[in-house]
Structure 1
Amino acid sequence: MAVASMLKEADIKAALAGCKAPDSFDHKKFFNACGLSGKSSDEVKKAFAIIDQDMSGFIEEEELTLFLQNFSAGARALTAKETKAFLAIGDADGDGMIGVDEFATMVKA
C-alpha cells in the first residue's frame, strides 16, 4: 500500500510538481499540497507506517531519502541536503530518527 491510496491523485501530482527540482522540497508545502496535513491522526499514523518501510517504528535517514517515492513510484529521491534538513526538522528528541509522534507533529504544523 502506498500513501497515495489515501490521497487524491491530483493533489499528489501538484505536490510533487512543487518539488521537482533538486533541493526544492519543503515539507510544509508538500504536506499541505498533497492533503496529508488535513487527514486524521489515524490516517497520518497509517502514512507513517507506510513510509517506515523496515517497520522499525522510526523513519530513518535512508527512508527519508526515498520519501517522495511513497507518494508516486516515479518521484525523485531527496538530495542529501534535503534529507538532512527534513530529519533535523522532524527529529524533536535528537535521536537521529523520526518517530510516529514527531511525524504527526511535523505533518500538522
Structure 2
Amino acid sequence: MKELWYGDRRDRVKWGALIYLANEFDIPCIIQVAYLRQGTDDPKLKVGNREVALPEEVWNHFSDLKHIQRLATKTGKLITVLDEPFHPMRRDYYIASIVSKNHEDTRS
C-alpha cells in the first residue's frame, strides 16, 4: 500500500467489506498487513499557474495508517495494523516476520 492511497475510495470499500464480514461472522478482530512502501513523492497542489506544497498536516493525517483505530473504537472491533516497511526484494523475510509477530501476539 502506498502512503498516498490511504483514505481513498478503495479503502472505504475495503473497510466496509471487512467490517460487514466481521459483523456477519462474529469475528472480533481484523489484522491489516499494509505492505507499506515508502513513497518518494513530494506532493504539490496546483493553484492557478503555480505549484505549492501540500500542507504537512494534511499529508501526515492521511499517511498515518493507524488512524484506522477510530474505526475500531466505533465498531467495537480490535484492529491491528502491521505497518513495517515492505521491500519487494525481501518479500519472504517480510512475510515470515509478519507471521511470527502474529503468532507471538496470539500467545500473549
State the TM-score, normalizing by the size of structure 1: 0.30
Of structures 1 and 2, the larger Rg is shown by: 2
**Structure holding more helix per residue:** 1
**Structure holding more strand per residue:** 2
State the TM-score, normalizing by the size of structure 2: 0.30
